[in-house]
Structure 1
Amino acid sequence: MSKGRVWNKGKHNGRGLSKKNIAAEVTDNKSQPAPAPEESFIPRIDTVKPMNRSNWVTRPARVVPKEPENK
């Protein structure tokens, strides 16, 4: 089966986006001024905050029945 004749043609089929759609987006972006990039706050990786353990629930790893059932 060739690439152009498949049932899921809307999934780009490994070809990527069509060239005419990319060209239309480029012309739209040129007509509007580019917005200023927002400075996002990224916390430093070497700062460690304590975890909130007030709402943790402890459960036993394995529950052993007191009287095993007979099978």
Structure 2
Amino acid sequence: MPKHPTPNKPGHYWAKLIHPSREPEGEDWASTDWEVVQVNDNNGEGNERLSVSVPGIEPSQWVPDFVWGPEVLPFTQYN
């Protein structure tokens, strides 16, 4: 998957966690493949304006910790 721009708004995106934040010693949270993550508005500034929720990892991560893929568009149900 080609590299995409860094997210600048909340939503779901394909990403690879490259430099995990707050990782306990002896664990390896770095992504081995692309996964869907949730970008959240953290009401902060700079690199901490947006936080990232990764399935299976309790502490939020930061946007610069990732290589980014495309946004996952919302599912729309058709009648």
The answer to whether the superposition gives a TM-score over 0.5 is no
Structure number with the higher helix fraction is 1
TM-score by length of 1: 0.18
Q: Relative contact order (alpha carbons < 8 A, sep ≥ 6): 1 or 2 greater?
A: 2
Report which of the two structures shows the higher radius of gyration computed on alpha carbons: 1
Structure number with the higher strand fraction is 2
